[in-house]
Amino acid sequence: DTGVSQNPRHKITKRGQNVTFRCDPISEHNRLYWYRQTLGQGPEFLTYFQNEAQLEKSRLLSDRFSAERPKGSFSTLEIQRTEQGDSAMYLCASSLGSGRQATYEQYFGPGTRLTVT
Amino acid sequence: AQSVAQPEDQVNVAEGNPLTVKCTYSVSGNPYLFWYVQYPNRGLQFLLKYITGDNLVKGSYGFEAEFNKSQTSFHLKKPSALVSDSALYFCAVSSLTGGGNKLTFGTGTQLKVEL
């Protein structure tokens, strides 16, 4: 088990462009989360999936953001028409968060740092 | 709504001395509490958790934390600090009533351990 992986690690884009990030969770984990972290702050929740179902979205997640988790495996987070305020570290985490084997702690990937110029 | 407060932006301690990083929380229902550590240019690493049971929980690298329900606190402790413990520490809370165990983090406490 190699842990949670995220690609790319860094992304620089021009304002108005679309970007897509990928997260590969720990294989047996049924829950997958996306968070955003800006400098000097703790991560803020964006959305989460249980298997392939997206069960909750934060009000931070504007209409320009969309996330998918086809087949309950990897997930993608797309930002359309990027703005400078979208510049942040986007973190993915996974957990075994339900059922008898639930452990609840989330394991985080290294993050994708987005810079919008 | 759930929230976490980490009242100290930075904690300085000499190597070999005990350390405490403070955390208080607010949540509806029973809290699930976590500590994470973040090293520069690296992701968050899970240290320990309180879900239920014994109020003193032990985690990785010699860290422990004490859950105090009446004071709504979950302070991180270590009996003897190491220079390598220097990093950014985050306390986080979730609950079943919050839905999906999404984590709410504090703003972090920078721990600096000096020789």
Classify residue B86 by burial, with Cβ atoms within 10 Å: 0-12, 13-18, 19+. Answer: middle
Position B100 pLDDT exceeds 70: no
Query: How far apart are the C-alpha atoms of A3 and B41, rounded to whole Å?
Result: 17
On whether any CB of chain B is under 8 Å from the CB of A40, the answer is yes
Identify the three-state secondary structure at position A65.
strand
Q: Best mutation site among B102, B104, B105, B107 for testing chain A: the one with the most A CBs within 10 Å? A: B102
Q: Which of A4-8, A27-31, A77-81, A94-98 shows the lowest per-residue confidence on average (mean pLDDT)?
A: A94-98
DSSP state of B60: G
**Confidence tier at A61 by pLDDT (50, 70, 90):** confident
- Residue A71's pLDDT is 86
Position A106 pLDDT exceeds 60: yes
Percent of chain B whose predicted confidence (pLDDT) is above 90:
81
Report the gap between the CA of A69 and the closest CA in chain B (Å): 16
CB pairs under 8 A between A and B: 62
Residue type, A68: E
Instruction: Say if residues B33 and B4 touch (Cβ distance below 8 Å).
Output: no
In tens, the pLDDT along B17-70 reads: 999 999 999 998 889 999 999 998 788 999 999 998 899 999 999 999 999 999
- Across the interface, of B42, B102, B107, the residue whose CB is closest to A42 is B107
Listed in sequence order, the residues at least 6 apart from B86 whose beta carbon sits closer than 8 Å to its beta carbon are B111, B112, B113
Chain B residues inside the 8 Å CB shell of A7:
none
Interface contact flag, B90 A42, Cβ < 8 Å:
yes
**Confidence tier at A1 by pLDDT (50, 70, 90):** low
